Structure 1
Amino acid sequence: MKNKVTLFFLFILLGHLAIAQDIVADGIKSIAEKYNAIGIAYAVVKKNKIIKTGAIGYKNLETKESLNSENLFRIASISKSFTATALMQLVENGEISLDDDFGDLVGFPVRNPAFPDQVITLRMVLSHTSSINDANGYFNLDVINPNKSLDWRKSYNSYSPGTQYEYCNLNFNMAGAVLERLTDKRFDQYIKQQILDPLNLDAGYCVDSLDSERFAYIYEYDRELEHFKIQSAAYNPRSEEISNYELGYSTPVFSPTGGMKISVTDLAKYMAMHLNYGKYAGKRILQKKSVKTMQTKVAHKEGYGLALCEVDNFIGNKKLIGHTGSAYGLYSSMFFSPEEKFGIVVITNGAVLKYDNGHVALTKEVSNFLYNSLIEKLREVPINKGGK
């Protein structure tokens, strides 16, 4: 009798999941139409397992080739967490400290000219509290190197390091250079060796090492002309820059701050590792203490830890950890709850941009829809645990 009851509830659950498949497909299409999205890829993780991946729309708008969940996207600023994860591995090994002088690590003076006696630490750089800004740009380290540029002072804000928050891409391109100096390995190769390969992720920062047939084309919406423009620069080859590469300084070529190319499915696996405090599919990438450090706010008002931020206005008022990305017309989001053991990744390769309470409205709406359809609804399905 017990087995029959268990099977009965299993059939109910399977039936619910089958219905959910149709609801999800229709729901995502409806949201896509609302924002004129070129394509949307998504993945849902629950209790350390991917329970749903999918994609709608186009990989290539011109040819009408369909998007799928294995296509590669340049995910923009979610890339920062890969850089921080690799550096935290070195912190675990005792090779560096989060409170080390960042100038000593990067190989040239890093001091706010208004506060020359105050040390700017690795922790400050990874949490956007360094007082460094992007005013001079961030794709060449010369802009902040006093030995290379007369305008280096413009790369600093007027407040004391560690006291305020300002989001800064230059922070992470410098952090990538630090990784190279410490490991004597090229940034993209080190990330592959230490994070991607152990997790069995087919991804990377070096565009030339990836299968270009898998790239999802990225489109930016021109509001004046009211149409989408393809952004081929998102996947420009880097072979020429690499041929003249200076280890520990040319690192922005790979954009540690935003250059990861990965599918929504593999990004969900990476997210699951952080969701499970450093471990996924039997592979430990970081110790629990290190992951908690990354997830803990340094910039308390803004909610930033180390390349991960805390939000409470993305899915209801739930406390979530993660990051977003925006570049070339692509918008991405990766948010998860370590307490409730779920996470959701959403990427669009082009849409009409609208905001909702500080977040890209499309990725937020899709994430809420997926949560309500695949996380919250499943809790309503009764599961017999062998009782009367």
Structure 2
Amino acid sequence: MNRHRRHLLGMALLGATGPLLAAPSRRRIPALDVELRAIAADPACELASLSVLAIRAGRVCYAGQFGRRFIGHDGLPDKPVSPGTLFRIASISKLMTTLGLLRLVEDDKAALDADVSGYLGFTLRNPHFPDQAITLRHLLTHTSSLRDDAGYSWGADVALKDVIDAKMYATNAGPGAFFTYCNLGWGVIGTVMERITGERFDRLMRRLLIEPLGLQAGYLPAELPPAALANLATLYRKRTVDTEVWDPAGPWIAQADDYSVKGPSAIDRYVVGTNATPFSPTGGLRISARDMGVVMRMLMGDGPHLLKPATLDLMFSRQWTYDGRNGDTADGLFHCWGLGNEQFPDEAGTRLVERGGFPAVGHLGDAYGLMSVFVLDRQRKNGMIALVGGTSTDPFAPANKGRYSSLARFQERILTALYEHAVT
């Protein structure tokens, strides 16, 4: 289950193991600082880095950073997390991609229920259900009948039309009939966006999302401004890169975004509209918790406006609910879905805080050691963001599983601490 779960949410140094460092933030709650620092340093599941933000009634009420965005080695010093530290936020990127797509929908450049084949320039149909079109709504709600089993990311020299074949489709249900979390669908969405606009996905999202909201963020590290690249968190685990063997007493080992020796690679040769997966609409956005707070306040109707209120209401309207037979919940992780966002009713199995009181929408992320949470209660304008840059033990080992949700136990503890000390 652990490998399956990471596959779903993913798409995605040798150093001392001493106490985590804390970096100052704009807003402090001393008791919360102490509790979060203790969670991050817990030897049962130590965190390489942690950046959190809480919003109450539409305003930021707490921001805190703990740990190291870079763990020193070979004479290179440790670097602490700061309020502006960027993390590769994994599958929360899907929610951000949705915002860009919905801007195109508002501009009548895309329609949620149109056959995506017309945008792609090639036929995208499940060969087992050839008379049923696949739409953007299907892709956004993971009901397209596409599957990840044969891959969902390829190089810039590969065209999607040449790799998507019969083995990438479900045989048990056609489009719209069954929920299965699918990263491949988001590569298709990014490619559709490129075909509609003629712009490369990462640069298109800069125009549609990053610049209008004044964010310091990007999909390719090579295209980040120098100051942002220097403040990018390396992602770690205490396990080797290509195995599931953990060593909690061993060193932190870089998994992604380590540019201490060699800088990031650029993508220079690419035909726009052929395959957006190298830019990872699925999970590749690098952004800070602070700037994610800007996005969250926009979704609450505060701060800069990006989309019409009616569009946001549509985005967060319930599109799929598990009824016992209409989807794969990934061992209870998924229960209900909007357009590009997961939904968390304040009920057994989907509760986000220990004593309840926080029904939410948003997204989770899990890739390369990064574990991220972006959840908001739109009605009350409360929200929480938590970015973890790596764990010392398997976060979904039996001892680390959550007590009342499908989250890891340390995530439950972080969200409950934020909610009880800051949000309420």
Q: TM-score when scaled to structure 2?
A: 0.78
**Which of 240, 256, 275 matches 1:250?**
275
Name the structure 2 match of 1:69: 83
1:108 & 1:238 partners in 2: Cα distance?
30
Q: What is the one-letter code of the residue matched to 1:25?
A: D
Helix, strand or coil at the partner of 1:322: strand
Find the counterpart in structure 1 of residue 419 from structure 2.
371
Alignment of 1:21-36 (within 5 A): 21-34=29-42, 35-36=45-46
Q: Residue 152 of structure 1 aligns with which residue?
A: 165
Residue 231 of structure 1 aligns with an amino acid whose one-letter code is Q
**Count of residue correspondences:** 351
Distance 1:143 1:268, change over 3 A: same
Task: Check 1:121–1:207 CA distance in 2 against 1; reply closer, same or farther (3 A cut).
Answer: same
After superposition, where does 1:227-306 map in structure 2 within 5 Å?
227=250, 228-232=252-256, 237-239=264-266, 242-276=267-301, 280-281=302-303, 283-301=304-322, 302-306=335-339
SS at match of 1:237: coil
Q: Is the 8 A contact 1:137 1:143 kept in 2?
A: no
Aligned residues of 1:20 and 1:373 also touching (Cα < 8 A): no
Calculate the aligned-residue CA RMSD, in Å. 2.1
Match for residue 107 of structure 1?
Answer: 121
For the pair 1:216 / 2:233, whether they are aligned, the reply is yes
Report 1:279-358 matches (<5 A).
Answer: 280-281=302-303, 283-301=304-322, 302-312=335-345, 313-315=351-353, 316=356, 318-351=358-391, 352=393, 353=395, 354-356=400-402, 357-358=405-406
Give me the whole-angstrom Cα distance separating, in 2, the residues matched to 1:232 and 1:309.
25
The equivalent of 2:242 in structure 1 is: none
Counterparts of 1:174 and 1:325, CA distance in 2? 19
The structure richer in helix per residue is: 1
Q: Separation in 2 of the partners of 1:189 and 1:76?
A: 18
Contact 1:221 1:329 in 2 (8 A): no
TM-score, structure 1 length as denominator? 0.85
Secondary structure of the equivalent of 1:374? helix
Deviation for aligned residue 1:362? 2.2
Q: Which runs of 5+ in 1 are unaligned?
A: 1-17, 377-388
One-letter identity of the residue aligned with 2:108: G
The 1:103/1:375 distance shift into structure 2, 3 A limit, reads same
Displacement of 1:44 after TM fit? 0.9
5+ residue gaps, structure 2, are: 1-25, 240-244, 323-334, 346-350
CA contact (8 A) 2:58 2:297 kept: yes
Would the alpha carbon gap of residues 38 and 233 (structure 1) be closer, same or farther in structure 2, given more than 3 Å must change? closer
Which amino acid is the alignment partner of residue 338 of structure 2? G
Distance 2:315 2:136 in 1: 12
Instruction: Check the 8 A contact 1:39/1:59 in 2, yes or no.
Output: yes
Give yes or no for contact 1:144–1:153 (8 Å, CA) kept in 2. Answer: no
The amino acid that maps onto 2:318 is K
**Is the Cα contact below 8 Å between 2:27 and 2:64 reproduced in 1?**
no
Aligned to 1:380: none
C-alpha distance in 2 between matches for 1:44 and 1:186 = 33
Instruction: Find the aligned partners of 2:258 and 2:148 in 1 and give their Cα distance.
Output: 20
